[in-house]
Chain A
Amino acid sequence: DIQLTQSPSFLSASVGDRVTLTCRASQGIGTYLAWYQQKPGKAPKLLIYSASTLQGGVPSRFSGSASGTEFTLTISSLQPEDFATYYCQQLNSYPLTFGGGTKVEVK
């Protein structure tokens, strides 16, 4: 099975900060990776698919990139509504797997 390791697990940041979240795959998955945002008590929301394609309706301050087995989600200027937990998911092969998540908290 493909393992996804997200880092950091927790991140404290302030409004306006540029933040970068990392997801590392245990083996090559091409660009078959998605990023989700989840707020407490809510279902996840798709942000990025195919590693770097922005889902419709998602603000352009979110971006994704890939380099080998390392993937990053960047928020260029953190907004109050961005404090949430972020998950990556590999879609290269079954069983599909999620990373453990990164919780972005208010500093």
Chain B
Amino acid sequence: EVQLVESGGGLVKPGGSLRLSCAASGFAFSSCSMNWVRQAPGKGLEWVSSISASGTYVYYADSLKGRITISRDNAKSSLFLQMNSLGVEDTAVYYCARDKYSNPAMGVDVWGQGTTVTVSS
């Protein structure tokens, strides 16, 4: 079964850091470009970051650039998102998601269940 399972979310104080992880299974992870998408409570979807299959190319949302780093470990079929200098506006459910056919132009066809990040003092 194709599956993405996120972890690492939780409660963090403003200014803190968090590292999200996504464990992939059931498909050739090393061949797939991947994404992080978030959704603040009661709000719409917001694209956060993307990474190519090899990890060579990375892309970030302007609002988060400089505070986040996307990475992957293909040997362990894992995707990561390091988030620093967190603010209350970063409170959201963070989804790990796979590009269809490893082609970013095709949309995202597999999503994890999400991990919740809450930034509060």
Interface size on B, residues (CB 8 A): 23
Q: Which residues on the B side are within 8 Å of A50 (C-beta)?
A: 105-106
Please report the C-alpha to C-alpha distance between residue A55 and residue B107 in the assembled complex, in whole angstroms. 10
Q: Are A46 and B107 in contact (CB under 8 A)?
A: yes
| 1/0 contact string of A71-107 vs chain B (CB within 8 Å) | 0000000000000000101011011111111000000
Q: Are A87 and B107 in contact (CB under 8 A)?
A: no
Stretch at the interface among B9-17, B19-27, B41-49, B74-82: B41-49
Q: Are A87 and B44 in contact (CB under 8 A)?
A: yes
Q: Which residues on the A side are within 8 Å of B1 (C-beta)?
A: none
Q: Which residues on the B side are within 8 Å of A91 (C-beta)?
A: 104-107
Nearest 9 Cβ contacts at the A-B interface: A34-B107, A43-B111, A49-B107, A96-B47, A94-B59, A98-B45, A101-B44, A91-B105, A46-B109
